[in-house]
Amino acid sequence: MRSPKSILWQLIRLMRPFSRQVLLALLLSVATIGSSIGLMMTSAWLISTAGLQLGITSLGVAPTAVRFFGLSRAIFRYLERLISHDVTFRLLAQLRVWFYERIEPLSPAQLRAYSSGDLMSRLVTDIDELQNLYLRVVAPPIVALIITVVMGLVFALFDPLSALVLVIFMVIAGTLLPLFTWWIGKSIGQQVVRARTLMNIHLVDSIQGLADSMAYGYAAQRANTFHTVNDDLAQREQQMARLDGLQGGISVLLVNIAAFCVLLVAVNRVDGVYLATLALGTIAAFEALTPLALATQHLGKEIESAQRVFEVIDSTPIIPEPSAPQAAPTSSMDLNLSHVSFRYAPDEPYVLSDFSLTVPYGQRILIMGESGSGKSSLVNLLMRFWDYETGQISIGSSDLKALAHEDIRQIFGVMTQRTHLFNTTIRENIRIARKEATDEDIETAARAAYIHDFILSLPQGYDTYVGEDGASLSGGERQRVALARILLKDSPIWLLDEITANLDPVTANSVLASVLSAGKERTIIFMTHRAPLTEQSDFSQIITLQIHTNDTQTSETPILS
């Protein structure tokens, strides 16, 4: 786990590509506050001088300066907001891409430690929280330091003692108050992030299981739990809001005390026409310090969010890429598994024990077994989502562990009983198999999957949206879209895991016939627990996986027939 200091330095280093924009935004922020101070001080002097009725000539260029500072303040503020927010949003975009790029190599073995609601919270909410890093943490201290030094020098021109009083109060407002709010707000901010994450996890879980909750009368209990979690989050946010009010009140109090003390010191030491100038200048100068307390108040929340993001980003894949990957095989695609043993955890029984299988290229293999017998585990091992303990898996003359993961996933085309369809068009759901595919390539794959005519019957054809997880399609239609996807990928070896499990017998037979017809001249490993479904199909080998349970472990024995 990273320290807060390490997190801040890492986030600041991410700004290096935007260093010029950051510097420009800092200069504009200083210019904005400088214009505000100039406006207040010039206006105060102008009014004081005019009140003495010394004549219009005594005002000099002050009226022009007031107009200049008034206009420049608005212009500088607009430009500063434009550039700083642009940098912030680009940084957030970079963080999201970085986050996804670091998740993508992680195998399901690692990601199963996170719920979908937790990952969503890290990717969306926690990264969004980091937008305040530059706006509240990086820029304000630098701006405050510059303004404090400049105001000390300016006030010294009027009266050194008044300048010292001003600097003392600015240091107090810029250090002690932020430290106070950091001390109080650190734990509250962490609690807000954790409560918000818990609510997101519960909300996603409740929505995904809404149908079952309603069917079993569990909806009311889930709703009560959600209210409890939501009330806890609201309580934490109320504590943060109260702290907001407290630090805001203290800030205003410090500003007024500072203005009073400066005025008290200067009243007998400075020409009376400048007293209002010093008082209003003091108030205006604190505009640079006010964000510091707010920044440190929310810093605990931002560090906790960053910690959660980096917890995933810093994860080392448990199945790393080979240091010197071999070239992907091109001539021989024979698949061989020799004495492979695998279990999901050291304290769990073996799912595969001393399992061997040889599949010459182009053969059709049927693997049968009940749920839990290891069919899906075999797919996970071949795709390098999980690592096997002993044995060897090779494709041609290449050891599977010596191949780059990207090459392995080009060799295998996978269909499962729960193929995921994205909430986009049918065309794009098929195209994910090969992003450079043309519309003609997609239609060719759809024809081979026997779904082209159905797609054309839809109002928008290939541009029809399938809904979340393909909700607008039937089970058979979903599987045919999945078949078109692996046809477009054109992998030499197909792994078909229970692809007819959720289909009625008529649809299941139709999908199976389509798959076997479209998969000619490829290696097909078909896995199912529905024996009658495959009776009319021609398979080179039929392997039955049986689960044998004893007091110590569960193992698999392949039976060739």
pLDDT given for residue 161 in this prediction: 94
Q: How confident is the model at residue 557 (pLDDT cuts 50, 70, 90)?
A: very low
Assess contact for 359 and 543: CB atoms under 8 A: no
Helices 19-51, 62-103: crossing angle, 10 deg rounding = 160
Architecture of domain 4-313: Up-down Bundle (1.20)
Measured in whole angstroms, the distance separating CA 314 from the mean position of its chain's CA atoms is 13
pLDDT given for residue 52 in this prediction: 67
pLDDT higher than 60, residue 495: yes
- Cα–Cα distance for residue pair 491/323, rounded to 1 Å: 25
Beta bridge partners of 364: 524
Q: What percent of the chain has pLDDT over 90?
A: 19
- Cα–Cα distance for residue pair 136/182, rounded to 1 Å: 13
Q: Token pair for residue 134?
A: 């530059």
Nearest to 27 by CA among 75, 80, 78: 80
Return contacts of 241-244, CB within 8 angstroms, 24+ apart: 243/181, 243/184, 243/185, 243/188, 243/297, 244/294, 244/297
Q: What is the mean pLDDT of residues 22-46?
A: 90
Pick the CATH number of 335-560 from 2.40.10.340, 3.20.20.140, 3.40.50.300, 1.10.10.10: 3.40.50.300
- DSSP letter for 326, please: B
- In this prediction the pTM is 0.67
Beta bridge partners of 358: 336
Beta bridge partners of 541: 365
pLDDT given for residue 194 in this prediction: 83
pLDDT higher than 80, residue 237: yes
Beta bridge partners of 337: 357, 393
- Cα–Cα distance for residue pair 372/548, rounded to 1 Å: 11
- Cα–Cα distance for residue pair 56/62, rounded to 1 Å: 10
Distant-in-sequence, close-in-space partners of 130: CB < 8 Å, separation ≥ 6 = 11, 91, 92, 95, 302, 305, 306, 309
CA distances from 205 to 112, 114, 149, 200 (A): 15, 12, 54, 8
Q: Token pair for residue 365?
A: 């293999």
- Cα–Cα distance for residue pair 5/558, rounded to 1 Å: 55
Distant-in-sequence, close-in-space partners of 460: CB < 8 Å, separation ≥ 6 = 425
pLDDT given for residue 257 in this prediction: 93
pLDDT given for residue 559 in this prediction: 37
pLDDT given for residue 554 in this prediction: 35
Q: What is the mean pLDDT of residues 174-192?
A: 82
Mean pLDDT, all residues of the chain: 83
For the stretch 117-171, pLDDT in tens is 777 778 788 888 777 776 667 788 889 999 999 999 999 999 999 999 999 999 9
Q: How confident is the model at residue 537 (pLDDT cuts 50, 70, 90)?
A: low
Q: Domain segments of the chain: what residues?
A: 4-313, 335-560
Distant-in-sequence, close-in-space partners of 420: CB < 8 Å, separation ≥ 6 = 469, 470
For the stretch 298-332, pLDDT in tens is 777 778 788 888 888 777 777 888 888 888 887 78
For the stretch 346-378, pLDDT in tens is 888 888 888 888 999 988 888 887 777 788 888
Based on C-alpha coordinates, what's the Rg of the chain?
34
For the stretch 65-109, pLDDT in tens is 888 898 999 999 999 889 888 888 888 888 888 888 877 777 776
Q: Alpha helices of 58-215 — where are they, by DSSP H? A: 62-103, 108-111, 116-120, 127-129, 131-132, 139-158, 160-171, 177-208, 210-215
Apex 443 CA angle, 438 and 445, nearest 5? 100
pLDDT given for residue 549 in this prediction: 54
pLDDT higher than 80, residue 561: no
Q: What percent of the chain has pLDDT over 70?
A: 92
- DSSP letter for 527, please: E
Most confident of 33-37, 125-129, 214-218, 526-530: 33-37
Assess contact for 108 and 384: CB atoms under 8 A: no
Q: What is the DSSP string of 378-399?
A: HHHHHTTSS--SEEEEEETTEE
According to DSSP, the β-strands at 493-497 and 523-528 are parallel
Residue 149: count other Cβ atoms within 10 Å of its Cβ.
12
Assess contact for 115 and 205: CB atoms under 8 A: yes
pLDDT given for residue 28 in this prediction: 92
- DSSP letter for 341, please: E
Q: Token pair for residue 65?
A: 């300066």
pLDDT given for residue 79 in this prediction: 93
Nearest to 391 by CA among 357, 433, 414, 367: 357
Straight-line distance from the first to the last Cα atom of the chain, in angstroms, rounded to the nearest whole number: 53
pLDDT given for residue 531 in this prediction: 65
For the stretch 251-276, pLDDT in tens is 889 999 999 999 999 988 888 888 98
pLDDT higher than 50, residue 58: yes
Q: Token pair for residue 465?
A: 């949206």
Q: How confident is the model at residue 502 (pLDDT cuts 50, 70, 90)?
A: low
Distant-in-sequence, close-in-space partners of 342: CB < 8 Å, separation ≥ 6 = 350, 351, 352, 355, 374, 377, 381, 386, 388, 389
pLDDT given for residue 259 in this prediction: 92
pLDDT given for residue 54 in this prediction: 58
